[in-house]
Structure 1
Amino acid sequence: MPWIILLFAGLFEIVWATAMKYSDGFTRPAPTLLMVAAMGASFWLLATAMRTLPLGTAYMVWTGIGALGSFVVGILFLAEPATAMRLLAASLIVAGIVTMKLAS
Structure 2
Amino acid sequence: MSWLVLLLAGLVEVAWSQSIKPTQNFTRPVPTLLCLALMAAAVWLLSQAMNTLPVGTAYAVFTGIGAVGAITLGAVLGDDPISVGRMAAVSLIVVGIVLARITT
Q: TM-score, normalised by structure 1?
A: 0.95
Equivalent residues in 2 for 1:1-104, closer than 5 Å? 1-104=1-104
Amino acid at match of 2:62: W
Give the distance between the partners of 2:30 and 2:18, measured in 1 at CA: 12
Q: Secondary structure at the match of 2:20?
A: helix
Give the distance between the partners of 2:95 and 2:21, measured in 1 at CA: 27
Q: Secondary structure at the match of 1:68?
A: helix
Q: Deviations over 1:44-98 (max 9, x none)?
A: 1000000000111100110011111111110111111111111111111111111
List runs of 5+ in structure 1 lacking aligned partners: none
Q: Secondary structure at the match of 2:74?
A: helix
CA RMSD of aligned residues (A): 0.9
The share of aligned pairs that are identical, in percent, is 49
Give the distance between the partners of 2:55 and 2:32, measured in 1 at CA: 29
Give the distance between the partners of 1:52 and 1:20, measured in 2 at CA: 30
Q: Quick check: 22-31 or 68-77, which moved more?
A: 22-31
Amino acid at match of 2:7: L
